[in-house]
Amino acid sequence: MEEIVLTFSRKTGDVRVHNEGGSELDAGEVEQIIAALSALRERMQPPVPTAVPIGKPLQIAAFPAWWVQPDFADGSVVCYRHPGLGWMGFSINHVQAIDLARLLHQQNDPEQQLSTSRQ
């Protein structure tokens, strides 16, 4: 594949994929297109909602591989492997890391589940 051309306005994006010879795309080429579309979506309006949209279906990757490393600025980098999107990294600050650990512990500790369900 020789070129991916993306143009955008605040609300719309125009994507043209030029594939010389009309051959099938390989995994690397599809990854390039996904990355370009992701970058395009990031700049479009309206933005992706900041809260999880309740009642709308979510794409869920079951039991993903994950990886964590320190973010020397102030927290951690948490990475998850999505089977279609690849590795996605998120930088979270110290407070977010503590909150995430606490919530995961509460949701997975039978003692915590009993005490919170009684309140």
* Confidence band for 19, pLDDT divided at 50, 70 and 90: low
pLDDT at position 93 over 80: yes
In a domain? residue 60: no
In a domain? residue 56: no
Say yes or no: 38 and 70 in one domain: no
Predicted TM-score (pTM) above 0.75: no
In a domain? residue 47: no
Domain that holds residue 80: 66-118
Find the mean pLDDT for residues 92-113: 90
Q: Is residue 92 a contact partner of residue 72, using CB atoms and an 8 Å limit?
A: no
Q: What is the pLDDT of residues 52-83, one digit of tens each?
A: 999 999 989 999 999 999 998 889 999 999 99
Query: CA-to-CA distance for 24 and 30, rounded, in angstroms?
Result: 10
Give the CA distances from residue 65 to residues 70, 82, 83, 88, 113, in Å, rounded to whole numbers and listed in that order: 18, 8, 10, 11, 25
* Confidence band for 118, pLDDT divided at 50, 70 and 90: very low
In a domain? residue 54: no
Instruction: Give the total number of structural domains in the chain.
Output: 2
In a domain? residue 50: no
Residues 6+ apart with CB under 8 A from 107: 113
